[in-house]
Amino acid sequence: MENSQLSTRTHTLLVALISYLTFPAAFFIRFVLMDGYISYTQIYYHVMGVISALMHYVIYSLIFNNKMDFSRRFGKQVQRTIACESIGFMITLASLYLAELANISRMAVFFSYALNVLLISLKHRIYINWIRSVRRSGQLHRRILLVGEGSTALRYAQTVLTQPEAGHRLVGYVASEEQPFGGEYLGGYDALEEALASSMPDEAIIALSAKEYIHIDHIIDVCEHHGVPLRIIPCYEERVSSSVSPSVFEGIKMIGIRDIPLNGLYNALIKRMMDVVISLLMLIILSPLMLFTAIGVKLSTHDTVFFRQVRVGKDKKPFEMLKFRSMRKNDGEQTAWSRNQDDRRTFFGAIIRKLSIDELPQLINVLRGDMSLVGPRPEIPCYVEQFRDEVPLYMIRHMVKPGMTGLAQINGCRGDTSIDERIRHDIYYIEHWTIWMDLRILLGTLTAVVNDEKIPGIRSED
């Protein structure tokens, strides 16, 4: 497999070689192409290249290669490459400063950093194209014997048959009766030994339905007796997140089916620090706009400046979410869902809603810790009770803090939109959170500040 120890070491050594070569290349760019003053001879940059190669081997072994499938997810590989190169770049600059090597060109170090990002990403792209091409030609596949039946086994078999570049080839399957898998039927579970002997698979994939788990001990024993590696796709696979969390409790092995990155102390601390710093800066920078808005709200509604509404936050705990008041006081303000043509709005309220200015007081919620800058949008308690019974996986969104903006919002799911689509985006965010994703969402929010709110008395063009 691509993530075998040999393949991982090969990729790491290639990265180390590239990082060595980029220092002489950076020397050439800085002092030949740019005709700069050479303070140290080129030999120093070869020495820097060797040190950089060793550093890259360590960094990529620890951070990158043990978590990556080298044949897939090019975008993820580029992101992790940039992260690793940034770490190496900062370590190099810090080392030069501490060693007082002032004559080593910092510009050349930057050129080396840029070349590393470019060339290592290019290496990923070339390898992906090569491995997919080879696999499509029928080579470098792992021969798979599928054991099981039902929807999970069918989905796996169809994926193998329609995506040969993924690297699996189905040599046959064992099930209680013939299935519409498209592969060769090798008999029932009692024929597993003969099937293993005749098909000689590299690996067995067990994908039993719930009612078939009475066969699991027999299947594992037979596979281990024949020395065939095996993996199990659980019958509840569709409910398992893309990353699971194994743990041991007093010798009892357990697997968490939904691993939340933000449950980790380090991730939670980084996200909280970003929330505090950015929300505080925004409150300071936007204070003149917020003061002007507060005056406008007071004059237009003759009521309180802030509208406080109970929402459900992390761990299903209620909190008061703040907004600039954009509607006249009404009996349904704590339970009614507002729409983009709501008759309860004032003219000034419609304008600040159109520009999303009414949301700015939530920066105070972020600073207090009720909310985060990015996360699933918080819901009114009565709708939480309704949706928890109607929408699958709805309550998972309460495993993290709600946000001022989120993945659903930058993908057009704002206000009165499909709840199922919003939940799909929310769960993806929760399971795949990174600090880079938060930054991308915040940048995407800047382009989505103006929404489809309708302003009374202004007709939109047809």
Task: Find the CATH number of the domain harbouring 148.
Answer: 3.40.50.1980
Cα distances from 324 to residues 211, 302, 306, 362, 371, in angstroms, run: 55, 13, 5, 9, 17
End-to-end, the C-alpha distance of the chain in Å comes to 56
In a domain, 436, yes or no: yes
The closest of 254, 253, 258, 255 to 240, measured between CA atoms, is 258
Mean pLDDT taken over the chain: 83
Q: Are 279 and 383 members of one domain?
A: yes
Q: What is the tens place of the pLDDT at every residue in 81-91?
A: 888 888 888 88
Contact (Cβ atoms closer than 8 angstroms) between residue 439 and residue 373: no
Given a contact cutoff of 8 angstroms between Cβ atoms, the answer to whether 244 and 234 are in contact is: no
Can you give the pLDDT at residue 462?
36
Domain endpoint, select from 136, 168, 189? 136
Residue 55's nearest CA partner among 28, 26, 27, 94 is 94
Q: What angle do CA 92, 93, 95 make, to 5 degrees?
A: 65
Lookup result for tokens 């700015």: 360
In whole angstroms, give the CA distance from residue 160 to residue 181: 10
pLDDT-derived band at 391 (thresholds 50, 70, 90) equals confident
Helices (H), 328-390: 347-354, 362-368, 381-390
Q: Is pLDDT of 311 > 50? A: yes
d(CA 332, CA 307): 13
Would the pLDDT of 2 be above 70?
no
Three-class SS of residue 205? Answer: strand
Q: Are residues 272 and 307 in the same domain?
A: yes
Query: Are 45 and 171 members of one domain?
Result: no
Residue 421 has pLDDT above 60, yes or no: yes
Query: Are both 155 and 104 inside the same structural domain?
Result: no
For residues 364 and 433, state if they share a domain: yes
Q: Stretch 126-131: mean pLDDT, rounded?
A: 81
Shared-domain flag, residues 161 and 296: no
By the 8 A CB rule, do 1 and 167 touch? yes
**Pairing status of strand 306-312 against strand 318-324:** antiparallel
CA 100-103-106 angle, 5° bins: 90
Q: What is the mean pLDDT of residues 447-458?
A: 65
The pLDDT of residue 460: 43
Q: Quick check: helix, strand or coil at residue 104? A: coil
Same domain? 212 vs 345: no
Indicate whether 457 belongs to any domain: no
Q: Looking at per-residue confidence, does 201 or 341 come out higher?
A: 201
Rounded-to-integer distance, Cα 202 and Cα 230, Å: 9
Mean pLDDT of 103-107: 82
Q: Do residue 129 and residue 160 come from a single domain?
A: no
The per-residue pLDDT for 37 is: 60
* Mean pLDDT to the nearest integer, 373-389: 91
Is 82 found in the same domain as 11?
Answer: yes
Task: Compare 445 and 250 and report the one with higher pLDDT.
Answer: 445
Question: Domain limits at 385?
Answer: 265-446
Cβ(26)–Cβ(43) below 8 Å: no
- If DSSP codes are grouped into helix, strand and coil, which group holds residue 143? strand
DSSP 107-134: HHHHHHHHHHHHHHHHHHHHHHHHHHHH
Q: Report the 10 Å Cβ neighbour count for 270.
A: 15
Question: Do 294 and 419 sit in the same domain of this protein?
Answer: yes
Query: In total, how many domains does the chain have?
Result: 3
> Per the domain annotation, does 50 fall within a domain?
yes
- 70, 102, 136 - which closes a domain: 136
Q: Identify the pLDDT of residue 266.
A: 83
Give the phi and the psi of residue 334 in degrees, each rounded to 5. Answer: -90, -10
In angstroms, the Cα distances linking 413 to 338, 408, 452 are 14, 5, 11
CA distance 437 to 324: 28
CB 2 within 8 A of CB 71: yes
Q: Decide: 106 and 30 in contact? Cβ < 8 Å.
A: no
Q: What is the pLDDT of residues 143-174, one digit of tens each?
A: 899 999 888 888 898 888 888 777 788 989 99
**For residue 78, what pLDDT band results from cuts at 50, 70 and 90?**
confident
Side chain identity, residue 369: G
Residue 461 has pLDDT above 70, yes or no: no
| Burial bucket for residue 359 (CB in 10 Å: 0-12, 13-18, 19+) | middle
pLDDT tens digits, 280-296: 999 999 999 999 999 99
**pLDDT at residue 451 tops 80:** no
Please tell me the predicted confidence (pLDDT) of residue 293: 94
Are 296 and 420 within one domain? Answer: yes
Rg (CA), the chain: 29
pLDDT band for 110, please (50, 70, 90 cuts): very high
Structure tokens at 53: 């190669």
Within-domain flag for 329: yes
